Structures are given as structure tokens and as C-alpha cells.
Structure 1
Amino acid sequence: MNINALDNNPKWINFRYYGSFLYFPVAFILYLAFPYLGPILLGFSIVAFIQIISRRLKAANFIDNILSTELGFASERLFYLENFPDYQFVDIHNSVKKYLSSTKTFKKNNISNPESLNDILNHRFHSELNRTPQESDNISWKVSEDEDIYLKVDNLWIVKDNYPKIIRLRYDSYNNNTILEVSTTDSNFYESFIKDLKKDIIENSIYRGKVLSITSQVIEGIDYGEKSSKVGIQFQKINRIKSQDIILSDKIKNILDFNVFEFFHNHEILSNNLPTLNRGLLFYGPPGTGKSFTSQYLFGRLKNVTIIVASGQSLTQINTISSIGRTLQPSIILLEDVDLVFSSRELNNFNSTLGDLMNQLDGYAKKEHMLFILTTNHIERVEKAIKDRPGRISQCVYFDLPNLDLRIKYLKNEIKNYL
């Protein structure tokens, strides 16, 4: 992403603006020290001051032109602002474009401005900004495993359809979110617009039905060394494993059929006949016994199910991960090596995160179309309130070292293409 967080920081922009008023006192001090530079310093200060005033007048003229020429109204404007997670930027952009394609007339401007639409349209010039239309920066975004697109960071559409309105969408890299702003004179427009928009985002998300890997990055703040976490989503390629290529005991196959495939294939029937559908599995056993391989097998067999994979540091973002899973239902959330973060509370440095996981496993909605799968090599380290609570984990599935029969089946499967 070619976005400079410092340049998008309103505090830094304000510093540049108010700092410009220091030209005159600095010039005066230099004049006292070097009198022969007086005319040059005076001329420089006058030019700088004229530039500041010029920016203000140019901005004001542009705003007036929008209101009078493009929109045709200057009073009774209503402003709405909605914050979304940053990873929904492309989905929202696509949904807004879909709405615009159904309107009669619209015009797009690209602006590069960290201020809100309300501040811009009400001439609140509290920072040094040129509000004339200009090309904003581009942002590179993955929309599939092999495809990238480029979108403007700041997008503003002027719609002249029945009631004039302004729709603005911007990616805020400084605060790691997506901001949607709307200005209109029609009080009923926004409610129906945002309802249809959110529905379309959920139904047509670029992430729906894909295998996603969650990343978590700690970001150093510009002010006072503050830190924050940024959650990212990456598309993950998987090798689809055929049923004949997975060598498992009949016991484990039956567990998977009942707890996974039946859960997704017959969800509507189960939902109508059971009081709750909370479902969670815990895969445990020695390393190399097929826990992750089995998960890939499940992913390959389940069509139109969104898979969300998290491990390591990203496990601490369990609330965000669960929110993504709920948005993209039906879904599976795979949490790998959970003993690293969700160990017994006596030994746990992530107690608040442990509580978050237990809340998510309990389920806020009792009939969600979502399945949790947890894996660990050390079940003895996992918190008892997770592994021993039937309402949170439906079944613990032990992956033992293969017996002689399974080893023979595995070897036959591996050499069949060479016979």
C-alpha cells in the first residue's frame, strides 16, 4: 500500500498549517541578527502569507461551486458517517458502485483530504488543505489468490438523482478503518441506502466462499510510542484432497461426517429442530498425525463455505476473527496450535483473550451457521473451561499414530501411481 501514515495524520497536517504562521516572527528574528537580509525575508514572508490566504479562498470557492452548481442546495443538509473495518474497503466500494450504476446521473471527484465531509462542506478550515479536486493516492488490494486491483484511497461521488446527494468513501490508514460519509437533503435516503449496502456487502463479499488466512501486525503509533494491532486478510491456496487420499480411522471419519458434513448439509433442518447449534471440535494428538491435513480435506469437500485460518499472534484477534466468520456464514474458523495462546489460565499471559474465545464459543446467536475447529499438540495445556465444556467443544478428536492397517493403506495410496 503506497500510503504514508504520517501524511494522513490530521495532527501532522495541523502542525504544518499553524507552523506556517511562524514565518513572520522567524523572519523578524533573522532580520535582527542579519539586517542586510531584511528585504529578502520580508518578501519571503509576504509570499508565504499570500499562499495561505490563496489556499483558503480557492477551497472556499470550490465548496461554493459544488453547492451551487452541482448540488443546487446550501441549507438543510444532513450528514451521516459510518465506520467499517478496513478489510471491507473493496466490498463497500463495489456496493457503492453498484448503487451508482442504478442512478440517473453522478459525477466522481477524487480528493485527498483527512477531514470529514461535514467539515469540508461547512468551510471548517482548521488545517492546511487544498480542497480542489485532485487525484488521491492509489491503494493495491488483493481480490483473489492471483488478482490485484487498484482503488483510490479517497472517493467522492456527486449524485443528482431526485434529491442531490454526496457519497464519500475513504480508506483511513492512520486509524485502520474504512469511512463512509453521505450528505443529502432526503432524510429517508440514508436509512434505506445503508441497509441495502450492508446486505450487498455480506452477500457479495470478495472473501465469501474462499480460504482466508488472518494476519495480525503490531503498529507503532506516531504519538507517544502508542501501539495498536492491525488485522489483515490474505487469500490462501489449498490443495483439494480427494476422499481416497485421506487415510483416517473409521472412527474419525464418522465423527467428521456427523459433526462437520451433516452440520453444513442439513443446517436448515437442524436449526428448525434443535434449540442450539453451537458446534466446536478440538483436534489433538502428537505432531504429524494428520490434524492439519484433515482440515485441508474438509476445506476441499465443503463448497460455498468460507474458511478462516488463524495461528500464532493472530489468535489474539479472536473477536475480529469471529466477526468475520459471522459476516461470511456459512463458515469454519480454524484456530491452530491453540495451546500457545489459550493455555490454562494459571499459566496464561492472555487471560482477556482467553475470555474472548470462551464467549465466542458460547455463541451470541444460538443458531449460527459457523463451526470452530481448534488444533493442538498438547491438549494438557489447553484451558479446561474450553476442552471440558460440552457447550463450547462438541467433541475432542484424538489423532493417534497410525496402526499397521492404516500404514499399509497409506503406503499403497502413495505408490499406486507408480505401479
Structure 2
Amino acid sequence: MAEPGKVTVEILGTDEYEAKYGESREPSALSIDRINELFHEFLLAVARPKRADSDGSRDLAKRLRDHLGSAPTDRPVVKTAYAPFDLPNVHLALERWFAADGRTHELIGMRGGRHHGELTLGDIIDAADRYDRFVVGAVDYAQLPISPDAELACVSCGFYLGTDGEERFAVLLRGPQDEYGRNKVEVEVLASEKEFADRLLAEVDALIREHNVFRGQVLSFEGSQFGHGLGPFRFHRRPGLTRDEIIMPSGLLERVERQVVGVARRRERLREAGQHLRRGLLLYGPPGTGKTHTLRYLLSHLPQFTVVILSGESINAIGPACALARMLQPALVVLEDCDLVAEARDYGGGEQPLLFQVLNEMDGLGDDADVAFLLTTNRADLLEPALAQRPGRVDLAVEIPLPDAEGRARLLDLYAGGLGLGQDIADEVVARTEGTTASFTKELVRRSVLIAAERESARTEARDVREALDELLSDRDRLTRRLLGVPGTRDIEDEEWTED
């Protein structure tokens, strides 16, 4: 007798076969049939070794068969897919769906097949049934952020063995697996009737929309899935800026507020009058004048808005950003420094700049969409031709200028009001900082405090401010001034070229 786990192959002639098995066949037919039979036994022994669990508790196919009451391969499979960053939404939606009265589920995991991400549920069941390639194992979880301060353990690979009344079914949830090339969330339902599976997926999708974890959040696209954050997203705390913290020429902030916040507050009146809610605002001006600061102020006064921030190359994600904004409206899509892509080409190699794709996405949302777009740029001259060729997407363009004398005095009071510097030094600073930016004033105050700290002083005095101002206005800090957005600042190389 052969040892357990081994296959013995006998080569018998016709006479020997008749003596052993009591039957006669043609030599050629006998050899082929018997060899085929033995080879099949050999493949099963190699591909399906004896289980370590004598009770079959890890047999995935048996577990599914026992739960369903019939062979899994006899049932239809219906599947759907979501973006990779939607795993928390899908996980929570399934939890909510199963929590309804009359429904139960058991969650089990799966082991085996390193590249199971490439297989469908049907493939997995077939491989588990025929070759034991997959067995019951621990459920895989992914710890993912769902807000700036909270994380959620989400099922990233698991079977829900569910019941709904008399219906018995299985749901396979798999999250993205970048190492295997599956950049999506997949949900597959194995049920006795396709109609039941369709209805389950439709109800889960409705729950995803109703309880979306992104709703009312401030998000930014990071341009990569491998850093901190959820998929390509990073969560941000909503700012809490007041009007007193925004320094602008008289009437300017009111125009900006009316375009973004005012429409949000009067949306019902506008709809009744047949007016669209979609709007676009362009903030332009030199670096450091406060465009981003103005954006932060607007976010402070739009607490119910979902905000998606795109910057630089992440503007390539304008399609998913607009889809998210459409689903989670009211929403604000922010395109920071969009002049950086004004000359970029799209992936299709066409002649239109990426900015045209952005503008087309804006137009494609429809007039009834409660979505605002806010674009910022340091180079309005680059954007103007594109905007002129795509009219109507941006309804208001507002220049954020360099602060005048009154503005610089208010900025100094904002950043240094608690230092008690006195009016004389304040007037001196205002007089000497003509043509500088809000960022320059903020850095001036920070450097003044640092100089005072280095000389072990308990308070910042006028001489500290003068020393800091002398440094920032000196030749050695030309590049610093340039980085703080002060226009007209030339570095040493510029002067050398000019002299030549």
C-alpha cells in the first residue's frame, strides 16, 4: 500500500492488467485511459495536499456551501467598484446595511493566493473548491483616517456570510492593493437571485451617499497614495478666522463674501428666481498678499461645505474632485496656484492646456449644482487667455493688492498688537515697508520676537523691531524678501547680468 500523501504509478502490460483487474481492453485504449486516471490522481495529490485541519474548518468552499445551502458555483455573482479612497465609506455602509432588522452576518477572512486581487469571486470559489488554493483565515483590516482626529479599522479583505429573512448570501469586500495593481474597492455579492444582489448593492450605494465620511470635511489631494492620509486625500481642520484677521481695502472682502458665502446663504431665493448656484471666483495678485489667508477665512464661514483643495500637479485630479463635489454638495473646489498648469498639456497629448479641462469640468456640473470654484494665481496674465476662451466659468475676478499704508498699519497691529511696541515704532515700520506684503510683516514680527529672546529680554522692544527691519531690508536678505513676495526684488545674479 502506498504511503499517505504519495501516489504509486504501475506500468502493466495487457496480460498483467487482465490478471489484476479481471478485464481486457485494447492495449492502446488501456494505456491511455489508465495513464490519464493516474495522472489526474497525481495532480490532485500535488495541488491538493492533505489538510492540517481534520474537521475541515478552514475549507473555504465548504464554509460557503454550508452557509448557502448549495454549491457556491451554482449562484450568480454581481459586483461593483469604488475609488480607492472610498474604503471607509463602503465598510461603514455594509455595517449599516447588515444592522437593519431581520439581517445577520458572520465575517470571515481568506488566506492563500498572493495575487487574489486579480481574481473574481467566482475564480476564488473555483480555486478553493478544486485546489484548496484559498482557505478560511483572519479578516484583513486597514486603519484609515476618517477625519483630522479619528481613524477607523476598515475591512480590507473579508467575506460577510449574510442572511436577510430566508435569503442566504455572501459578500466579498476587498480594498485597494497597490502591490498587486488593483487600485479600487470591490464589492461582490453571491446570492441565489441576481435581483437580490442588485438590490443589496443599490442600497449600500445609497448609504454611502447618505453617510459619506467626506461630507462637510476639508480635504486636499496629495498627488500620491503612499503618504499620510486617506488614499490621495489628507484631512484638514477647518480654520476659524474672523473678519478682524483679514486685512483688505475697503469693500473688497464684501465682494468676495457675497460671491461665495452670500450665494450659499441665499440659495433657496436664487433657485426660486431661476438663478444658478454654480459660481467661480478668481483671486489674483502677487505672492504673499493674502490669497490663501482669504481662502481660509471663507472656509471658516462655510461650515456645511465639503471642500476639496487641489494644488499644482494634483489639479490633474479635477475629475474625481468634481465628482465628489457633485455628490456632497454644497461644496467648494479650490484650485490653488492654477497658473502652474496653465501651460501644461493633458494626458491625451492634445493641444488644450490642462486648465481648459478644469474649466470644462466646471461647466459640466450644471447650473443646479451648489458648487463653488475658487481659483488663486500669482500670474493672472497666464490665465486670462484661457478664461477668455472659456467664458462664464469664472464670474468674479478679484485682485488682492499689496497693502497700502493703512493696510500695513493694520497688519502690524494684527501680528504685533500684543507686544506693546508704541505708536512711534509702528509709524516708522509703516513708512519703511512700502511695497511689501502681508507675509513680510508677519515675518518681521516673528524675527523681532526672536531677536529679543536671543538677548534674554522679557519683552520685544523698538530696537528689536529696527534690527529685524534692517536685516530684512538689507542686501543680504534680497532673496528672503523675494520669497516673501515683495515685488521688484532682484537678487545678486540679476544685478550682475544687468551690469554686463
TM-score (norm 1): 0.77
1:188: which partner in 2?
A: 195
Among 60, 65, 69, the residue aligned to 1:72: 69
- The equivalent of 1:282 in structure 2 is 282
Q: Which runs of 5+ in 1 are unaligned?
A: 1-45, 220-229
Amino acid at match of 1:106: H
Question: Which residue of 134, 154, 168 corresponds with 1:164?
Answer: 168
SS in structure 2 at match of 1:153: strand
2:407 corresponds to which residue? 406
Aligned-partner SS, 1:216:
coil
What is the letter of the counterpart of residue 168 of structure 2? P
Tell me how far apart the structure 2 counterparts of residues 218 and 170 of structure 1 sit (CA, whole Å). 17
Q: Structure 2, unaligned stretches of length 5 or more? A: 1-40, 421-500
Give the direction of change, closer, same or farther, for the CA distance of 1:57–1:384 in structure 2 (3 Å limit): farther
2:148 paired residue among 124, 127, 145: 145
Cα distance, 1:314–1:197 mapped onto 2, change above 3 Å: same
The letter of the residue matching 1:53 is R
Which residue of 2 is the match for residue 222 of structure 1? Answer: none
Question: How far apart, in 2, do the equivalents of 1:192 and 1:335 lie?
Answer: 38
Structure 1 residues 116 and 251: alpha-carbon distance in aligned structure 2, compared to 1, 3 A threshold: same
Deviations 1:63-118 (A, max 9, x none): 55234421113375221110100000011100101111124332111124432212
Q: What residue is the counterpart of 1:31 in the other structure?
A: none
- Aligned-pair distance for 1:394? 0.5
Give the aligned residue type for 2:109: N
- TM-superposition CA deviations, 1:204-261 (whole Å, max 9, x none): 2222111111011399xxxxxxxxxx96011123542112211122332221222111
SS in 2 for 1:181: strand
Letter in 2 for 1:360: E
Q: Would you say 1:84 and 2:85 are equivalent positions?
A: no
Q: Which of 121, 130, 147 matches 1:117?
A: 121
Instruction: Tell me, yes or no, if the aligned pair for 1:213 and 1:308 is still in contact at 8 Å.
Output: yes
SS at match of 1:143: strand
Task: Give the C-alpha shift of residue 410 in structure 1.
Answer: 2.4
Q: Deviations over 1:25-61 (max 9, x none)?
A: xxxxxxxxxxxxxxxxxxxxx9998452228999999
Counterpart for residue 177 of structure 1: 184
Q: Which amino acid aligns with 1:261?
A: V
1:132 to 125, 130, 135: 135
Taking the aligned partners of 1:316 and 1:349, their CA distance within structure 2 comes to: 15
> Secondary structure at 1:158's aligned position in 2?
strand
**Change in 2 beyond 3 A, CA 1:269/1:101:** same
Residues 359, 390 of structure 2: 8 Å contact kept:
no
How far apart in 2 are the matches of 1:284 and 1:100?
50
In 2: Cα distance, 1:248 partner to 1:301 partner:
17
Is structure 2 residue 328 aligned with structure 1 residue 328?
A: yes
Q: Is the 8 A contact 2:143 2:151 kept in 1?
A: yes
State the 1:333 CA deviation. 0.8
Q: Which residue does 2:370 correspond to in 1?
A: 369
Name the count of aligned residue pairs. Answer: 362
TM-aligned CA deviation for residue 323 of structure 1? 1.5
CA distance in 2, matches of 1:394, 1:186: 51
Partner of 2:251, secondary structure, is helix
Task: Spell out the pairing of 1:195-344 with structure 2 (5 A cutoff).
Answer: 195-217=202-224, 232-343=232-343
> Which deviates more from structure 2 when the two are superposed, residues 123-132 or residues 259-268?
123-132
The one-letter amino acid paired with 2:80 is E
Structure 2 counterpart of 1:357, which letter? V
Over 3 Å counting, the alpha-carbon distance change for 1:277 and 1:105 in structure 2 is: closer
CA distance in 2, matches of 1:263, 1:337: 24
Query: CA, structure 1 residues 364+415, in 2 after alignment: closer, same or farther (shift >3 Å)?
Result: closer
* 2-structure distance, mates of 1:190, 1:235: 34
C-alpha separation in 1, matches of 2:263 and 2:288:
27
User: Once structures 1 and 2 are overlaid, which stretch shifts more, 190-199 or 240-249?
Assistant: 190-199
Equivalent pair of 2:341/2:353 in contact (CA under 8 Å): no
SS at match of 1:96: helix
Could you say which residue in structure 1 is the equivalent of 2:106? 107
Aligned match of 2:433: none
Letter in 1 for 2:108: N
Please report the RMSD computed on the Cα atoms of aligned residues, expressed in angstroms. Answer: 3.3
Q: Are the counterparts in 2 of residues 280 and 373 from structure 1 also a CA contact under 8 Å? A: yes
Q: Greater shift after overlay, 144-153 or 276-285?
A: 144-153
Counterpart of 1:156 in structure 2: which amino acid? Answer: F
SS at 1:111's partner residue? strand
Q: With a CA cutoff of 8 Å and minimum separation of 6, indicate the structure with the bigger relative contact order.
A: 1
- Cα distance in 2 between the residues matched to 1:239 and 1:277: 24
